[in-house]
Structure 1
Amino acid sequence: MTQGLPFNPKRRQLLIGGAAAAAAGTAGMLLPGVARAAAAEYPERPITFICPWPVGGTADQSMRALCQVASGILKQSIVVENRAGASGMIGTKALARANPDGYTIGQIPISVTRFSQLGMLQLDPRTELTYLARTSGQTFGIAVPTNSRFKTLQDVVAAAKASPGRITYAHAGIGGATHVGMEQFALAAGVKFNAIAYKGGASALQDVLAGQVDLLADSSSWAPHVEAGKLRLLSTWGEQRATRFKDTPTLKELGYNVVVEAPNGIGAPKGLPAAVERKLRDAFRAAVASTEFHNVAARLDAPVMYLDGPDYKKYVATVYDQETQLIQKLRLKELLQQG
């Protein structure tokens, strides 16, 4: 008759501990596979895309074109949801607070670099958002109705000097690109305007067409109306003249060292799973490169300015530093307090 080994409690603890470690190790090896499977299945349902501007504006049209192409690549619908207001920050706040699962993405206006420093956005855009792609820039300009007394930008400057604060201009929100661009121009020209804020470029355009406001400062919402003879374009704000409006001078050509392009970008909440982020970056990289998007961008006078997510994030950090100086120069905090 054989006898069993004597009971050794320490040996039993070692055996149990080793088994537990082995089980944990096995589970650990399985987790990456599970994550890869989950990423492979993404997206399993429609994706919400938050556009922080009203329906019909140039940014809205640009984002819808991209989403249409990207939805085909991802084989899942992308539903554009417009959440306008506060110069794009209402939509941006909603995006930042969303669940970082890849099912809520959206446009991130480059003005987040400004508004976060002005207290209108309670997050640090350098670290608290996920960046997927920089897509295209915008062609900004100053336009007036064709029956306006202002035939050139020089006429506007002369009248503004003669009657400070009397000439009105419509823009898409306090602190946004159209507002800040005009204030930079006013500073360079040594004049003062009366700024009228709207929730977006579309409503600003309508009031200028109706003759209720003197000037329109906007991205190319004015373009079809200029071509139709309803508006006169006095100046554009890019480094070069706009392709479709080669007869219109830039602010720089007219002697004002102001350039505003405000490129659009796409992002997601902080904490997006790496595999999902890669899938979205790949989809929007292909969407920006597509013929469909290039055709829409050309129609909107929106120069394609693609950057992949990591490079876009570096760009945001650079602009953040530039905005720190601009806020002080234009006394934007004081302007916001005045409303």
Structure 2
Amino acid sequence: MFGGAARAQDYPTKPITLIVPWPAGGSTDISMRAIADAASKHLGQPIAVDNKGGGGGTVGPATMAAAAKPDGYTISQIPITVFRLPLMQDVSWNPDKDFSYIIHLTGYTFGITTNAESQFKTWKDVVDFAKANPGKVTYATPGTGTSLHVGMEQIAAMAGIKLTQVPFKGGAETNAAVLGNHTMLQADSTGWRPLVDAGKLRLLMVWTDKRSPNFPDAPTLKESGYPMVYDSPFGIAGPKGMDPKIVAKLHDAFKKAIEDPAVIATLAKYDMVPNYKNTEDYKKFVVEVTNSERKVIEGIGLGKKPN
């Protein structure tokens, strides 16, 4: 056991790989790179970001769970889909058993945008059109089972309308879809902000508790008549079986990172606010979020069908 203790004491002695399970250039990628850069200064080793998009943000964590050693040199951002997708379909990982949860970091501002030249000036315009044309309203998301997909289906159910999801791999693709009129709407996190600021996309609604300081004219879900908040909080985990001492070192470095003024400024650009939970609280949160997601998924009929 002495060798293991010595390794934990010396850790890290080489660069760490952080899987970001979304394509490069989106809001998650940019914010995670800022957080990783700040954390690396406290660890004394570089943190290399490895973009593994697909599966609504689950391909990267699933790959890590299946193949990575629990030595602290491979960790991953853990989106909420890691807990949600097993409730919807058969998957290769078990969120209760296959990860060593390290730290909970932050959440997103989600919004619904449309092309600035679209006929939809407000969300009510979308609802009215969808009632007259069931299933004709298409919306781009970063993947089936993501908070954007589940949130849109909840909104549609409450509004009494039918919408058609078109899944993509991430924000760069959903931006292109709505800009090019391949879909009528986009439901995504704030990777759309530069296009909204430039007047190319119109923001119809945000899904946060309060209006965004960056977009004070965009109403919230609650203001629009939907009593929900969707911010899809996320953290970082490694493969199962990590040494608690290594988990503690990573936790401390990433906690300092999200307290770094430069990181807070980067997060603010994307309407992301630090939402810190320590290792034990993050584990408890995983159980809570899985239970609440189960109710939502079953309520909108997306739950896994029994064999």
Q: CA deviation at 1:228?
A: 1.0
For the residue of structure 1 that corresponds to 2:101, the secondary structure is strand
CA distance in 1, matches of 2:28, 2:302: 24
Q: CA deviation at 1:318?
A: 0.2
CA distance in 2, matches of 1:328, 1:119: 12
More helix by proportion, 1 or 2? 1
1:331 lines up with 2:301 in the alignment:
yes
Q: Summarize the alignment of residues 1-339 of structure 1 with structure 2, pairs less than 5 Å apart.
A: 31=1, 34-97=3-66, 98-333=68-303
CA distance in 2, matches of 1:181, 1:120: 21
Identity rate, percent: 43
Q: CA deviation at 1:89?
A: 1.3
TM-score normalised by length of structure 2:
0.96
Residues 89, 121 of structure 1: 8 Å contact kept:
no
Q: CA deviation at 1:122?
A: 2.8
Q: CA deviation at 1:266?
A: 0.6
Q: CA deviation at 1:333?
A: 4.0
Residues 105, 275 of structure 2: 8 Å contact kept:
yes
Equivalent position amino acid for 2:114 in 1: V
CA distance in 1, matches of 2:5, 2:168: 46
CA distance in 1, matches of 2:149, 2:297: 12
In our comparison, the structure showing a higher alpha carbon Rg is 1
Cα root mean square deviation, aligned: 1.4
Please give the per-residue CA displacement for 1:264-306, whole angstroms capped at 9, x wherever unaligned: 2111011001111111111111111111210110001112111
Q: How many residues align?
A: 304
Gaps of 5+ in 2: none
- After superposing on structure 2, the runs of 4+ consecutive aligned residues of structure 1 that deviate more than 4 Å are none
Please give the per-residue CA displacement for 1:250-276, whole angstroms capped at 9, x wherever unaligned: 011011122210012111011001111
CA distance in 1, matches of 2:250, 2:107: 20
Residues 88, 304 of structure 2: 8 Å contact kept:
no
Residues 233, 248 of structure 1: 8 Å contact kept:
yes
Equivalent position amino acid for 1:103 in 2: Y
TM-score normalised by length of structure 1:
0.87
